[in-house]
Amino acid sequence: MKINQYKPWEQEEVKSLVNQSNKKLPILDIQLGGACNLNCIYCDTPKYGLPCSVNLSSIEKLMNDGDIKWVYVCGLGEPTAPANLKHLKQILQWCKERNIGLSMFSNMLNVDKELLDYIDDGTLHVLFKLDTFDKDKMAYLYGQDKGDIILRNYQALKEVTHAENGVTNLGASIVPTSVNYNELPSIIDYCMENGIFPFNWTIRRCW
């Protein structure tokens, strides 16, 4: 079974950005605030108190003046955490109006219909956290007892997956640890069966 490429990282997509000839800005890399709705045991960027300081007016101007094809949201915190969500949704609205794709890393704990619609219509592409299907392991790894919500959101994401011609709009951000290593084959199988790109991070030891 062939692994689908995650669309924002797809080889031809990247080549087109690199070879863009008009010299205008093709991508934006945005870091929202450090707020997060989980407390993962392996998190290496715990800057939860750092506020979201992005200048939305500047971002809109860059979208208007450049030739932006992609916006990447990754870094300090969780894009869908309450302190970041309003900024994310405003940027998504501008992206949709301008036919710009937005890619983000997210635990998708706060996924709602509006975000699912952005995924479904091709505006939003997500690498979402998927380390285990076991609720007890989730509680340990993520520092929050939110397993029921997370499992329900996995199902919601499956319904807006678009995998065509070897390219997909969703990827699973998988962190192998001593807690979940036995599950890794079934997680990879789940991704392959549902058209999701499996993205593995460095193995961590969680005592």
Angle formed at CA 151 by CA 175 and CA 131, multiple of 5 degrees: 10
Separation between Cα atoms, residue 68 and residue 81, nearest integer Å: 25
The contacts of residue 26 (CB under 8 Å, 6+ apart) are: 17, 20, 66, 67, 68, 69, 70
Which amino acid makes up residue 32?
L
Residue 21's Cα: distance from chain center in Å?
29
Instruction: Using the predicted structure, report yes or no on whether residue 72 has a pLDDT greater than 80.
Output: yes
Rounded Cα–Cα distance for residues 166 and 192 (Å)? 11
Q: How confident is the model at residue 22 (pLDDT cuts 50, 70, 90)?
A: low
Mean per-residue pLDDT for 121-136? Answer: 97
- Least confident segment among 5-19, 56-70, 141-155: 5-19
Report which secondary-structure segment, H or E, holds 126: strand 124-129
Q: CB of 173 within 8 A of CB of 127? A: yes
Q: What is the pLDDT of residue 46?
A: 63
> How high is the pLDDT of residue 2?
75
Q: CB–CB of 2/166 below 8 Å?
A: yes
Band of pLDDT at residue 207, cut at 50, 70 and 90: very low
Supply the pLDDT for residue 17.
73
pLDDT > 60? residue 125: yes
Where is average pLDDT lowest: 40-49, 158-167, 188-197? Answer: 40-49
